Structure 1
Amino acid sequence: MKTLTYKGYVGSIEISDEDNCLFGKVLDLPKDTAISYEGETVADLKEDFKGAVDDYIAHCKEVGITPRKSYSGSLNIRISPEIHSKIAILAQQAGISINAFIKKAVENQIATML
């Protein structure tokens, strides 16, 4: 999937054959925080995407709330206690934190898939 990126926000790019336009939405935001945009050309879509993000940030500032961002880099996962224990032992043996161990394991997995 092709995406747009602006100020830490990631947005989708989709095509509507019915409306003969491009459209998208900012990804990974809560359901009550939908940011969408559209355009007839790629340039229009990019411009509307940036405008929608800027409008969202300005609105948050106006009402005194912290804007949510796409993919903060913080990920909370649930695993069994047995796997947690094995990860802790392996991380300790490697001389790294559990977080560093998991990060490295995920990066290695992604590298083998790309």
Structure 2
Amino acid sequence: MMTYKGYMAQVEYDDEAKVFHGEVIYTRDVITFQGRSVDELEQAFRDSVDDYLDLCRERGEEPDKPYSGQFVVRVRPEVHREIALAAKRTGKSMNAWVAELLEQEAKRVLHL
């Protein structure tokens, strides 16, 4: 996985064309790049992200950000109630309580 300015890319190798092809993931906009070496690929990735940000700026558009820090989780009403009660018992808001648990679990799974 490659990262630059908060954007992440997935890379594949085309053995017939002898070229690496990458695409920025987790955005609605399509941002691609390619290179024949790792150095060329990394530079092409940075250039593509910078070009995308420049284009958005020129158009007066807000660039699509890979992660906003917000997402919706749907649970059964009973679970929603239990989460609210558990958060209240710890003296935290539901958002703070859930965010803390998700962060802890993500770090455990990713071994951070």
TM-score, structure 2 length as denominator?
A: 0.89
Task: For residue 79 of structure 1, give the secondary structure of its aligned residue in structure 2.
Answer: coil
- Write the distance in 1 (CA, Å) between the matches of 2:103 and 2:43: 33
Alignment partners' CA distance in 2, 1:59 and 1:113:
37
Letter in 1 for 2:83: I
Structure 1 residue aligned with 2:19: 21
Instruction: Tell me which amino acid in the other structure corresponds to 1:28.
Output: Y
Count the aligned residue pairs: 110
CA offset at residue 4 of structure 1?
A: 1.3
Q: Secondary structure at the match of 2:67?
A: coil
Q: What does residue 111 of structure 1 align with? A: 107
| Match runs of 1:53-68 below 5 Å | 53-68=49-64
TM-fit CA distance, 1:22: 1.1
Secondary structure of the residue aligned to 1:23 is strand
Q: What is the CA RMSD across the aligned residues, in angstroms?
A: 1.3
2:2 matched to 1:4? yes
1:89 aligns with 2:68: no
SS at match of 1:26: strand
SS at match of 2:79: helix
In the TM superposition, residue 72 of structure 1 has moved relative to its aligned partner by 2.2
C-alpha displacement of 1:103: 1.4
Name the % identity: 36
Tell me which residue corresponds to 1:46: 42
1:71, CA displacement in angstroms? Answer: 1.8
Paired residue secondary structure (1:57) = helix
Kindly provide the CA deviation profile for residues 70-93 of structure 1, in whole angstroms up to 9, marking residues without a partner as x.
Answer: 122222221121111110000000
Which stretches of structure 1, 4 residues or more, deviate above 3 A after TM superposition? none
Q: Which runs of 5+ in 2 are unaligned?
A: none
The Cα of 1:101 is off from its aligned counterpart by 1.3
Deviation at 1:18, TM superposition (A): 2.4
Cα deviation, 1:49-86, whole Å, max 9, x if unaligned, reads 01111111111111111001112222222112111111
